[in-house]
A and B are shown apart, each in its own frame.
Chain A
Amino acid sequence: MSSDPILEIKGLNKSFGPVHVLHDVDFTVRAGEVTALVGDNGAGKSTLVKCIAGIYGHDSGTVTFQGNEVHIRGPKDAAQLGIEVVYQDLALADNLDIVQNMFLGRERGSRWMLDEAAMEKAARETLASLSVRTVKSVRTPVASLSGGQRQTVAIAKAVLWNSKVVLLDEPTAALGVAQTRQVLDLVRRLAEQGLGVVLISHNMADVFEVADRIATLYLGRMVAQVPTKEVTNTQVVELITAGRSGELGLARPDTVTI
């Protein structure tokens, strides 16, 4: 279970003007594991993801990727390292089909002649490797897919690029029971393929089902990053709402200096 960290963040700070959003955040993503990132609204989950994805810069702190310190200055740097983000609003174009969406902006073939055959094959292989069985044809327009299928396509799009770390921002928030099942299975399979997966979720049942580790943010501080097996649902909820739970989390208030 304890593989080497693929992405390691140490002492990350981020402020928006006077608002100090992330305080000395340490965060580790391991290859082949699902790390759940939980926290209340405004705890800084999305900000942390956006810092990793290069959408925001950070004020201080180090990012180590596969053992080397890296400087991510923009989304392109992150993509080049193999870090992909699946956003809450899926960023798919409804009028295009699955293949066209998966390769959007990174089409294969020359500028003047797209290589449709190669793209179709690669898309099919990727979906097959993720054991996606609910889509009958990769030439189906995205408009006619269900919510779960769309989420699947969005995730497959992130995997297509030989990515090493995939960050999923609430992938099951808008889905029904069966579709959530589909997506969670997919998340598990990503980890089994050796990717480092970060799952942001509010749903404790989902988190306990798929995550190997749970990282909890509380008011911009990383209060605990623990293996799922060692904590209970109640403990995690306490961490989220109060920042500590027994031995875990922030120290007693009297020793904290803010």
Chain B
Amino acid sequence: MTEKPSATGTHSAPEEAKRAGAISDFGIDTTSKTTSEAISDYFAKVRGGELGSLPALAGLVVLVIYFATQSEFFLSLNNIANLFQQGASTVIIAMGLVFVLLLGEIDLAAGTASGVCAAIMALHVVRDGNLLGGMGSTVFYVFCALLVVALGLGLLMRIWAGAAFALVALLITLIGVPANAWLEMLLAISVGASIGCVTGFLVAKIGMPSFVVTLALFITWQGVILKLIGQGGTLPISSESPTLNAVANSNLSIMGSWIFCVIVVAGYAGVTLGRHFKRLNSGLVTQPTPIALAKVAAIAVLAIVGTYIFTINRSQSAIVIEGVPYVVPIVLAIMVIGLYVLNRTRYGRHIYAVGGNPEAARRAGINVTKIRASVFVVSSALAAIGAIVYSSKVGSVDPQAGALNTLLFAVGAAVIGGTSLFGGRGRITDAVIGGTVIAIVQNGLGLLNYGAAEINIITGIVLLVAATVDALSRRRAAAAKS
């Protein structure tokens, strides 16, 4: 195929090293690359099949250009804000699923589990904290018993965060504090984490395949939602709780938007340059300084332009709508925490290790069972946050909350972004990029007045194309190696 970029066979290594300019003894690690070398190296890597998120990003650009030429509304300020608000919940649920997919597992129940969280949150709002009255005594006691079970399982598996959330959910449920938006969001997340404890226990401790466990739970939770809300019922949120309504429908103030912009730019610059110079100072090879600076500059420009666009009044009526939508900082915050956990903590490293080779991880002294169970807690808790966002966007919770498409779009988002279903490969940003692709397809086709039929067909094809590109690029990478 093409020339070999980085991986060299054993025999040819010395000769190749000579050709490349006396690279030996970790030449790449000790000889800093110049900017042009770094750039050409990158292209060599891409040619070798290491595409990363590139196909998804390219697809994103193509879709944006296509819809911008087809619909005059697509790039209108109002629609851009709307796009973010529509796509946020899928992105958040997908970020949780990345953790599960990294182990080569699947959480089919994430969608309906999020629906359960939404229903309980909405019940708490509507019944002013009286869940006993809202559920009826039988359901209420079963619910409390299940929370106790989740608490026990969390303690048994020594997943302290999961156990703590289960305890919080139990306390909020039993104490019956009057409706309070923040408390309800906490309740939703806690219920999500409790559900995760149960799923994680069944998969990791009992050892059932996650597909079967979560398929069963998917159906179960769907029934639970129906039980909680009632056939044909709807629990209104927007009219009951202004704060919950604001999550997906309101914006930061102009001042807040710019402060947020400064935090993002300063944070990114601080982390990127801090790491860069730390590596330089300890004599380790890093990307060339101009490239690091260029990255920071690019993010700064992007953030400033984005913030500027969002601070223009985008209302078509007399009411002023301006500022960065709340969902943007929410998604960004989860993304940053996810990036940090997966790349900078021991826990994240162990997730990748278990996903790549469980036996190697076990021999290295990693508690594989605990890691495997814990990702379901993360996934369900993030699904609950997704549920808060989509319930807020819709303004109510009905028995269809978190139904089939919620989950499938989230899995699709992670896969389109480049996360492997076989485990070990994927990043949290994949979920964001893939989720954006799906949101744009949905939104754009909607603007072009296509019906649900066409939208589903085309979304499916986009997913198929993404998977094909991934498979082909991996074949190319494998061919370049051998």
Give complex CA distance A178, B347 in Å. 38
Give complex CA distance A252, B366 in Å. 50
Q: Which residue of A lies closest to B48 (CB)?
A: A144
Residues of A within 8 A of B344 (CB): 112-114
Residues of A within 8 A of B279 (CB): 117
Quick check: B424 and A120 within 8 Å, CB to CB? Answer: no
Q: Which residue of B lies closest to A99 (CB)?
A: B29
Q: Indicate whether B405 reaches chain A with its CB closer than 8 angstroms.
A: no
Q: Indicate whether A192 reaches chain B with its CB closer than 8 angstroms.
A: no
Give complex CA distance A2, B217 in Å. 66
Give complex CA distance A151, B359 in Å. 17
A93 contact from B9, B28, B346, B424, Cβ within 8 A: B424
Q: Indicate whether A91 reaches chain B with its CB closer than 8 angstroms.
A: yes
Give complex CA distance A187, B355 in Å. 31
Q: Closest CB-CB distance, B122 to chain A, in whole Å?
A: 35
Quick check: A113 and B345 within 8 Å, CB to CB? Answer: yes
Quick check: A106 and B364 within 8 Å, CB to CB? Answer: yes
Quick check: A91 and B359 within 8 Å, CB to CB? Answer: yes
Q: Indicate whether A43 reaches chain B with its CB closer than 8 angstroms.
A: no
- CB pairs A–B below 8 angstroms (26 shown): A87-B363, A89-B359, A91-B357, A93-B353, A93-B357, A94-B424, A95-B356, A95-B424, A100-B353, A105-B361, A107-B346, A107-B349, A111-B347, A112-B344, A112-B346, A124-B29, A133-B24, A134-B10, A136-B17, A136-B26, A136-B28, A137-B29, A139-B28, A139-B29, A178-B11, A182-B10
Residues of A within 8 A of B366 (CB): 104-105
Residues of A within 8 A of B365 (CB): 75-76, 105-106
Q: Closest CB-CB distance, A92 to chain B, in whole Å?
A: 6
Quick check: B349 and A100 within 8 Å, CB to CB? Answer: yes
Interface string of B363-387 (1 = CB under 8 A from A): 1111000000000000000000000
Give complex CA distance A178, B481 in Å. 18
Q: Indicate whether A128 reaches chain B with its CB closer than 8 angstroms.
A: yes
Give complex CA distance A51, B349 in Å. 30
Closest 7 A-B residue pairs measured CB to CB? A105-B364, A93-B356, A144-B7, A95-B356, A95-B424, A137-B28, A91-B360
Q: Closest CB-CB distance, B455 to chain A, in whole Å?
A: 35
Interface string of A223-244 (1 = CB under 8 A from B): 0000000000000000000000
Interface centre among B26, B282, B425 (most CB of A within 10 A): B26
Quick check: B357 and A135 within 8 Å, CB to CB? Answer: no
Given contacts A136-B23, A136-B27, contact A104 B8 (CB under 8 A): no
B306-363 interface with A by 8 A CB criterion: 344-347, 349-350, 352-353, 355-357, 359-361, 363
A84-140 interface with B by 8 A CB criterion: 87, 89-96, 100-101, 104-107, 111-114, 117, 120-121, 124, 127-128, 133-140
Residues of A within 8 A of B208 (CB): none
Q: Closest CB-CB distance, B42 to chain A, in whole Å?
A: 15
Give complex CA distance A68, B29 in Å. 42
Residues of A within 8 A of B302 (CB): none
Give complex CA distance A140, B26 in Å. 10
Q: A104-B349, A104-B366, A105-B361 are in contact. List 10 more A-B contacts (CB 8 A).
A: A76-B365, A87-B363, A92-B357, A93-B424, A112-B345, A113-B344, A128-B26, A133-B14, A134-B13, A137-B27
Residues of B within 8 A of A44 (CB): none
Q: Which residue of B lies closest to A92 (CB)?
A: B360
Quick check: A117 and B284 within 8 Å, CB to CB? Answer: yes
Given contacts A114-B349, A139-B29, contact A95 B355 (CB under 8 A): yes
Given contacts A120-B284, A136-B23, contact A146 B360 (CB under 8 A): no
Residues of A within 8 A of B23 (CB): 136
Q: Which residue of A lies closest to B102 (CB)?
A: A95
A56-87 interface with B by 8 A CB criterion: 75-76, 87
Give complex CA distance A107, B364 in Å. 11
Q: Indicate whether A145 reaches chain B with its CB closer than 8 angstroms.
A: yes
Quick check: B284 and A121 within 8 Å, CB to CB? Answer: yes
Q: Interface residues of A toward B: which range?
A: 35 or more
Interface string of B444-463 (1 = CB under 8 A from A): 00000000000000000000
Interface string of B166-205 (1 = CB under 8 A from A): 0000000000000000000000000000000000000000
Interface string of B255-289 (1 = CB under 8 A from A): 00000000000000000000000110011100000
Q: Indicate whether A179 reaches chain B with its CB closer than 8 angstroms.
A: yes
B10 contact from A90, A104, A140, A178, Cβ within 8 A: A178
Give complex CA distance A243, B356 in Å. 43
Give complex CA distance A114, B341 in Å. 10
Residues of B within 8 A of A76 (CB): 365
Quick check: A146 and B349 within 8 Å, CB to CB? Answer: no
Q: Closest CB-CB distance, B162 to chain A, in whole Å?
A: 17
Q: Indicate whether B34 reaches chain A with its CB closer than 8 angstroms.
A: no
Give complex CA distance A106, B27 in Å. 26
Interface string of A140-161 (1 = CB under 8 A from B): 1001111011000000000000
Q: Closest CB-CB distance, B245 to chain A, in whole Å?
A: 36
Give complex CA distance A100, B359 in Å. 16
Give complex CA distance A97, B12 in Å. 21
Residues of B within 8 A of A91 (CB): 357, 359-360, 363-364
Q: Indicate whether B400 reaches chain A with its CB closer than 8 angstroms.
A: no
Q: Indicate whether B70 reaches chain A with its CB closer than 8 angstroms.
A: no
Give complex CA distance A89, B472 in Å. 29
Q: Indicate whether B468 reaches chain A with its CB closer than 8 angstroms.
A: no
Quick check: B282 and A117 within 8 Å, CB to CB? Answer: yes
Q: Indicate whether B3 reaches chain A with its CB closer than 8 angstroms.
A: no
Q: Which residue of B lies closest to A76 (CB)?
A: B365
Q: Closest CB-CB distance, A77 to chain B, in whole Å?
A: 13
Given contacts A105-B364, A113-B345, A144-B7, contact A94 B282 (CB under 8 A): no
Given contacts A93-B352, A93-B356, contact A140 B25 (CB under 8 A): no
Residues of A within 8 A of B9 (CB): 146
Q: Which residue of B lies closest to A104 (CB)?
A: B364
Q: Which residue of A lies closest to B424 (CB)?
A: A95
Given contacts A96-B356, A149-B10, contact A135 B346 (CB under 8 A): no
Given contacts A95-B352, A117-B278, A140-B6, contact A111 B346 (CB under 8 A): yes
Give complex CA distance A144, B6 in Å. 9
Give complex CA distance A213, B26 in Å. 34
Give complex CA distance A92, B282 in Å. 27
Residues of A within 8 A of B25 (CB): 128, 133
Interface string of A30-43 (1 = CB under 8 A from B): 00000000000000
B9-43 interface with A by 8 A CB criterion: 9-11, 13-14, 17, 23-29
Interface centre among A90, A128, A135 (most CB of B within 10 A): A135
Give complex CA distance A90, B359 in Å. 10
Give complex CA distance A38, B10 in Å. 28
